[in-house]
Amino acid sequence: MKRSLFTGVLLLCIPLALSGCWDRTEINDVAFVIGSAVDKEKGLYRSTLQIALPGNLGGSGSEGGGGGTEGNKSYYLESKTGLTLRNSNMEVQAGNSRNLSFAHRRTLLLGDDFARGGIASMLDQFARIPQNRLSSLVAVTEGPAYKILDASAPMEQFPSEMVRELMNQFTKRPVTIKYLANDLLSEGIDVSLPYISLQEAVPEGEGQPKKNIQITGMALFKEDKLVGVLRGQEVRMINLAMNQATSPDVLVSGPNGNGYVTIRFTENVTSLKPVIHGDDITMHISILAKGSVIENNSDYSLGGEKNMSKLEQSASKEIIRQIHSGMRLLQDKYHSDALGFGRAILQKDPHAWARLKNHWDEVYPTVKVVIDTNLHVENIGAVNKPFGRKDKELKND
């Protein structure tokens, strides 16, 4: 009887020790930030936040719940300025009825004007406040970054999500806030980020003007300041030399000079090997890649081992040409060690780097670059000959 009484009293006392949910935050009281942009405006930080509207996330024809979600978009933007980035975010919070939550932010866009003045000063709040995700992807935009957050993204629910998907396609290891901070603090390498702009999506004069979000280059930094943008065909090959290309396409002239053959290298590995003799440094870039022909509009038949060997040689020459072209810009014009030549020297010979690092800015432009390629085109598709061409029009070796 006493044991039963004791058990009953104990069971009645247990709830008194439970804390309950006194400090809970209802989801209806939270504003989820899914993307943000940082710009500089008249000496102030402009912070633009892309905030999800839960009631509009159900798709066309759905009846979402939640208040304050009028309109067709699944998000809305709020933008304020402040003396610091945190201060501008708090200005946004002051005009928002819900508590801002940055735990789901997936992209951080930096306007090129802001990036030219230096980006290191804004990073403190990301590490200091645990709620911020260090896995958010970072990119530089052409013009104000807030315009990208409000651009058309018909394939995704949010423009920030489209940016994220584009960055995952662009590079093997997209740059997160964590990787950005690590590269800024590391010796022998300069930061490089995807460069995003708005491009015309339809021919001029055809219907309503439309612009799409697109990665159009590579933003190059010296220390924490944007010094230039690499554009054009060299971007993909420099990305390949950095061992960050996913599946780069290489467009080569037909081995006989008529038309073009497009090869996609779905497997690729690149390594750096420095050869050091005092201040005379040669950097060997070794590229191993396997790929397939995805288009042949030339008059060259790809059948036969000799023909394939000639195609691989043409692809190798084109890759080497484009990398050398890009490296001349990196070394001579922008002085940005985006490939990490200095880090490669540090890893191979720390004593040599200790001697070189204090005058690396003078040594880097003089580094000789030697590119070694080992390419294998292992698949030419379902046909050997250019489809739709007569045999008498084709050329063979």
Q: Which range among 63-77, 93-107, 354-368, 382-396 has the greatest average pLDDT?
A: 354-368
Half-sphere exposure at residue 92, Cβ-oriented, CA atoms within 13 angstroms: 28
Question: Is the per-residue pLDDT at 66 higher than 50?
Answer: no
Rounded Cα distance, 88 and 106, in Å: 19
316: left (phi over 0), alpha (psi -120 to 50) or beta: alpha
Burial label for 241, CB within 10 Å (0-12, 13-18, 19+), is buried
Rounded Cα distance, 171 and 247, in Å: 9
For 109-126, write each residue's pLDDT tens digit. Answer: 999 999 999 999 888 888
For 235-275, write each residue's pLDDT tens digit. Answer: 999 999 999 999 999 999 877 767 889 999 999 999 999 99
Confidence of residue 63 (pLDDT cuts 50, 70, 90): very low
For 43-59, write each residue's pLDDT tens digit. Answer: 899 999 999 987 665 55
Confidence of residue 9 (pLDDT cuts 50, 70, 90): low
The residue assigned the tokens 């038949």 is 301
For 131-180, write each residue's pLDDT tens digit. Answer: 888 999 999 999 999 999 988 887 888 899 999 999 999 999 999 999 99
CB neighbour burial string for 319-341, b if at least 16 within 10 angstroms, e if fewer? bbebbbebbebbbeebbbbbbbb
Tell whether pTM > 0.75: yes
Domains defined along the chain, listed by start:
27-62+69-231 (no CATH), 233-397 (3.30.300.210)
Half-sphere exposure at residue 388, Cβ-oriented, CA atoms within 13 angstroms: 4
Question: Is the per-residue pLDDT at 191 higher than 90?
Answer: yes
